């Protein structure tokens, strides 16, 4: 039903990405979004500023990282702290900013509202749900970091609710949402779009089905044709309450 991992956010660093990796990408083929993380607000701003002087199309701010200056609490679990990160990144770039919202918080709508005020142009909803696993024979955590991020089909109902809740705030400001969390089939993707997502993100499903995106796109096209709906845009946020 999903994947529990604590692999971290290892990467070669923003300088290597901008100087060595981006020049080898075909920017005529698709859009590229950089994911920015950091341990302090200053880190986020510095990495964002470096990507501002690059050909990428947008910047996703991963605000679920721990704030080392505040005892390791996650930026994304507190609306005011999330907004400070977005504001710092907004001052460092003119590129579109996508705030990746955590489900591990009390009020995701308030977080979304403050992030919009701070300059977010879009949202990725949601990040992983925190969980753990135990080896009963050794009576030790299976995950080296004790806790890890749960993704995949198990979190889809949680992600769907969060997309619906954020859409209630985002639609007022015409802010788009990337819906993600457990999408495997076209029906899964359609649920997120109807709940308010403008587009969707696929993650865990690709580990066991590299062609999942093609199948999902085909399924969505068939649904639109069957219901005589002219476009995805006509389906976004069409949930009947």
Catalytic residues: 65
Question: How is residue 202 written in tokens?
Answer: 């696929």
Question: Are the beta carbons of 177 and 196 closer than 8 angstroms?
Answer: yes
Vertex 137 angle, CA 132 and 143, to 5°: 25
Q: What are phi and psi of 161, to 5 degrees?
A: -60, -45
Q: What are phi and psi of 239, to 5 degrees?
A: -60, 130
Question: How is residue 83 written in tokens?
Answer: 């907004």
Strands 199-201 and 177-180: parallel
Indicate the burial class of 20 (C-beta count within 10 angstroms; 0-12, 13-18, 19 or more).
Answer: exposed
Torsion angle, alpha carbons of 1, 201, 91, 120, to 10: -90
- 100-124 burial code (b ≥16 CB/10 A, e <16): bbbbbbeebebbbbbbbebbbbbbb
DSSP symbol at 63: T
């Amino acid at each position: 039903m999903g994947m529990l991992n604590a692999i971290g956010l290892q990467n070669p660093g923003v300088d290597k990405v901008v100087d060595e990796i981006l020049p080898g990408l075909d920017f005529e083929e698709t859009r590229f979004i950089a994911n920015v993380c950091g341990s302090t607000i200053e880190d986020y701003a510095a990495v964002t500023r470096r990507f501002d002087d690059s050909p990428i199309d947008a910047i996703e701010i991963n605000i679920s990282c721990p704030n080392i200056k505040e005892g390791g609490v996650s930026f994304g679990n507190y609306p005011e702290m999330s907004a400070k990160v977005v504001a710092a990144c907004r001052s460092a770039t003119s590129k579109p900013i996508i705030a990746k919202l955590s489900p591990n918080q009390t009020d995701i709508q308030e977080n979304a509202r403050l992030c919009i005020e701070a300059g977010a142009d879009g949202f990725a909803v949601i990040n992983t749900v925190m969980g753990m696993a135990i080896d009963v024979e050794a009576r030790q955590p299976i995950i080296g970091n004790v806790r890890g991020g749960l993704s995949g089909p198990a979190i889809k109902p949680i992600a769907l609710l969060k997309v619906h809740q954020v859409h209630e705030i985002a639609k007022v400001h015409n802010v788009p949402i990337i819906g993600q969390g457990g999408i495997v089939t076209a029906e899964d993707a359609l649920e997120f779009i109807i709940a308010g997502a403008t587009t969707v993100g696929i993650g865990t499903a690709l580990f066991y089905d590299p062609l999942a995106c093609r199948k999902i796109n085909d399924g969505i096209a068939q649904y639109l044709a069957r219901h005589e709906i002219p476009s995805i845009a006509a389906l976004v946020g069409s949930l009947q309450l």
